[in-house]
Structure 1
Amino acid sequence: MNNYNATPTNNIMSFTTSGYVNQALICNASSNPALTTSYIPLQSSSFTIDTWLYITTLTSSVTYYPIFGICPQFVAYQCLMCIIHQSNSAFYLYLGFYGNDCTGTTPLTVNTWIHAAFVFDLTALTQKGYMDQMTVSNRAKSSCEILEIATLVAYFTFDNGLFLNDSGPNSLQATTNSTSFTASGRFFQAISFTGSNSSYFQMSDFTALGISNKPFSISFWIRPVSLQGIIVLISSTPTGIGYCVPHFGFSVNGTVIAQIYNGTGFVTVSDPTHSVATSVWSHLVQTWSSTNGIRLYINNVLVASNLISAGSYLGNGSPHYITLANGLSAASPCFGNQVTAMPFQGDIDDFRVYSRELSTNDVCTLYSN
């Protein structure tokens, strides 16, 4: 439902550039800001309302924090309300219709991005900070859809020559240079890299990757021309200078390696089977969580893992950049003496980033498509 433009009820509206995706609305209770739209008809229908929230304050003296409301007219007790509600000294998401209410079961915390979804299924009859990416859908979404919206950070298919289109829920920005597309992708088209110093694809605004010890997963298909170079670089700047970690690359002997930075150094796992070959499509997945550490899957097989050294993950606290096939201006110490510090030549397809650890079943689904 994209045909509703919001307008401020007063002139005291401000935004932050530290949104989950690009900018976000600042909700300052002292100035009582609000955005309004024309009436959205949701009566007698299923619907889903979801948004990203970064809560900065939850005060014990406040019982309700409003997020979203729909009223057919300005009359008490006739509004749909999506709010944060205090109960027994904790705060929960709350969906209310006046007498037909539903309270969440997960206590909310401050100073971290959370995804909030309010779902009403007509058939089953179930139901201070920043705000980003609010959407209203005229149907009830399944729990699987909500999980995908909340944790699929980016998804680039590279189809139809539209390299820069993010098919995920966040519409992240991307740039590319000295690349082309091939019609013989793993799924339809794919992006091709020349292996030159100027050939790369870069995405921005990966907020979750900048948060230390937050689980993540990276999945993609690769068809290399040669088994060398940087495949995936994560950095704090678009030039690769500063915080930089090559999460995927080839070692000097042509082995695929995956790595993270744990605060003291790089933790690396490698493929002992040398299962990635030139001119052949291979599926690569890296996952990380504090529970299982770093894991490397190749073609639906867990080929390497490390929990002892990789029990922690350090981001630098800012939204990160992801660059494919190039280290840009990153200094050689960034590569931890494991990844060959040179561009990658070959094709990449179906690139995905998640803000959760994919399970073995998830990896199998992506591999089998």
Structure 2
Amino acid sequence: MFYSADLITMMGKSKFHYGYFLFNCSLGTTTTTINCGTSCLNQSWIEASDGLAFWPFDGSYVDIVGGYNGIRSPNLPTFVTGYLGQAASFDASMQQAIYTSYIPLNDVSFSIEAWIKPTGYPNSRDHSIVGLCPSKIINHCLHINIRNKKLYFGFYYDDIQGITTIPLNQWIHVVFDFNLTTKLQTIYLNGYQDVQAIASHSLEIDAGNFTIGINEGVNFPYSYFQGYIDQLSINRRTKSSCEILEIATLAGHFKFDTPSPFIDSGPNAVATTSSGTSIVNGYKNQAISFSGSSTSYFQAWGFTSLGSSQQPFSLTFWIKPQILSGTIVHLSTSSLGAGSECFPLLGFASNGAIVAQVLTDNNIVVTATGPILPISSLWIAIVQTWSPTNGLKLYVNNTLASSVAASTFLASEITPNYLTLGNCLNGCDGTCSGGSVGTPGPFTGAIDDWRIYSRELTSDDVCALCFAA
């Protein structure tokens, strides 16, 4: 990805604070090319066209897109807390499954995706996720399952199997994609390609029940699924690798733009609330402004990935502080800011330097200390990343300001998890560990384009964010 900028104009507004140059990311005259490498950020990827079916499994078996509702039967799955809201819980020993009417997938491109959490492998070989297999005839039997602990995508003859062993008791995002034009079959796991092959034919099924949690043809009745399935959807088109990566890993995206400034524009539509804030001119369109009062905050919840230990994550936003103190982003298991786990992910040290933090498995808050940000009319890009491999990193305007070793992240292992922007609420009173945040408390200033990812962003991603037009 390439962006153009006048580096002289850009650097002319830089400031020197505690050994770091803070370059303005805004684009100027197009005289110099900035090569940001490969990144899926700042692309238009949300595409709602050609939706065939979507089962959110929030207390019902209703397909809210195409009307392919679950048919009543005595062996329907129950409901549990899901990746988002609720999920369908399948017990293989009770032969629980969902049957719907025929869904037309013959001779078309299609993409089937879901969040799944296998809780056991009681069968000798197969654990079916979905199927459309009225008979075992070549290219007339869609079977999507976990076979020998790896993802499997077959038409009955045109079959491919993933290379990654699927763990138990972890939420994973899976996509099974078929491109009619190229005949490419692709399995994606957690946003990344697991395996790909070229099929000889398209799917050629024109009748039969679509099944969830079982397959009527392959290894029936010994392939019932054991575990949870959530957010199951079918689209009659292929999806790009960038779209799939963002759907799998963009946990929340808040643009703060009118007329609906507080909605999540990402794929999950997580719940939010706001108090004592205002909407002002932002880096991109509008931004949220915090007054610095104890009741000024924005909160979002439902971040299952942030409750999973050792799950990489990233936070990005643009900031224009008025006072260099307080909490910028606070993580808690309670909506009041406290709970069994709570600490500030980002805030200001006592000297005004911005800090990024992570709680390690020995219950110690590790801190990456950045520069003292300027108080001016300039917007500043902030990115925090963490992964077991690369530890904790803090970027300021496309510059890696600090990097520290932190190979573990002690997560709550419960759902939901709350992220509070601009405050720590009841967690400000010493109940929660503040780490290196000087005075945990309300933030004064504005924030724009806040994103939460369940992956570690790369330096190319950070560059793409910084120099986006």
> TM-score, normalised on structure 1?
0.92
Distance 1:238 1:134 in 2: 28
Q: CA deviation at 1:3?
A: 2.5
Higher radius of gyration, 1 or 2: 2
Alpha-carbon contact 1:236-1:244 (below 8 Å) kept: yes
Q: Mark the CA change 1:313 to 1:26 in structure 2 (over 3 Å): closer, same or farther.
A: same
Once the two structures are overlaid, the 10-residue window that deviates more, 313-322 or 34-43, is: 34-43
Secondary structure of the corresponding residue to residue 364 of structure 1: helix
Distance 1:339 1:322 in 2: 19
Give the corresponding residue for 1:344: 443
Q: Mark the CA change 1:221 to 1:230 in structure 2 (over 3 Å): closer, same or farther.
A: same
2:332 to 235, 241, 247: 235
2:272 corresponds to 1:185: no
Alpha-carbon contact 1:48-1:137 (below 8 Å) kept: yes
Distance 1:35 1:200 in 2: 42
Q: How does 1:49-64 map to 2 (within 5 A)?
A: 49-59=112-122, 61-64=123-126
Give the corresponding residue for 1:257: 355
Q: Mind listing any 5+ residue stretches in structure 1 that lack a counterpart? A: none
2:375 corresponds to 1:277: yes
Runs of 4+ off more than 6 Å: none
2:261 corresponds to 1:160: no
Alpha-carbon contact 1:161-1:189 (below 8 Å) kept: no
Alpha-carbon contact 2:349-2:438 (below 8 Å) kept: yes
Which AA in structure 2 matches 1:6? N
Distance 2:100 2:237 in 1: 19
Distance 1:291 1:206 in 2: 22
Once the two structures are overlaid, the 10-residue window that deviates more, 298-307 or 171-180, is: 171-180
Distance 1:275 1:268 in 2: 17
Give the corresponding residue for 1:247: 345
Which AA in structure 2 matches 1:14? T
Q: CA deviation at 1:5?
A: 4.4
Alpha-carbon contact 1:81-1:95 (below 8 Å) kept: yes
> TM-score, normalised on structure 2?
0.73
Q: CA deviation at 1:180?
A: 2.1
Q: CA deviation at 1:311?
A: 1.9
- Deviation digits for residues 225-262 of structure 1 (CA, Å, limit 9, x no counterpart): 22221110000111111211100111222211111111
Which AA in structure 2 matches 1:239? L
Give the corresponding residue for 1:96: 154
Distance 1:278 1:246 in 2: 24
Give the corresponding residue for 1:199: 296
Q: What is the aligned length?
A: 357
1:321 to 418, 430, 435: 418
Give the corresponding residue for 1:208: 305
Distance 2:248 2:448 in 1: 22
1:297 to 389, 395, 404: 395
Give the corresponding residue for 2:234: 136
Which AA in structure 2 matches 1:176? S
Q: How does 1:351-362 map to 2 (within 5 A)?
A: 351-362=450-461
Give the corresponding residue for 2:142: 80
Secondary structure of the corresponding residue to residue 271 of structure 1: strand
Alpha-carbon contact 2:355-2:436 (below 8 Å) kept: no
Which AA in structure 1 matches 2:411? G
Distance 2:390 2:438 in 1: 23
Alpha-carbon contact 1:217-1:286 (below 8 Å) kept: yes
Give the corresponding residue for 1:226: 323
Identity of aligned residues (%): 43
Q: Mark the CA change 1:31 to 1:9 in structure 2 (over 3 Å): closer, same or farther.
A: farther
Which AA in structure 1 matches 2:413? G
Q: CA deviation at 1:30?
A: 2.0
Distance 2:146 2:72 in 1: 21
Q: Mark the CA change 1:304 to 1:204 in structure 2 (over 3 Å): closer, same or farther.
A: same
Distance 1:246 1:111 in 2: 28
Q: Mind listing any 5+ residue stretches in structure 2 that lack a counterpart? A: 1-50, 52-64, 186-225
Q: Mark the CA change 1:8 to 1:194 in structure 2 (over 3 Å): closer, same or farther.
A: farther
Distance 2:124 2:284 in 1: 52
Once the two structures are overlaid, the 10-residue window that deviates more, 6-15 or 252-261, is: 6-15
Give the corresponding residue for 1:68: 130
Q: CA deviation at 1:154?
A: 1.0
Q: CA deviation at 1:165?
A: 1.6
Which AA in structure 2 matches 1:186? Y
Q: Mark the CA change 1:276 to 1:161 in structure 2 (over 3 Å): closer, same or farther.
A: farther
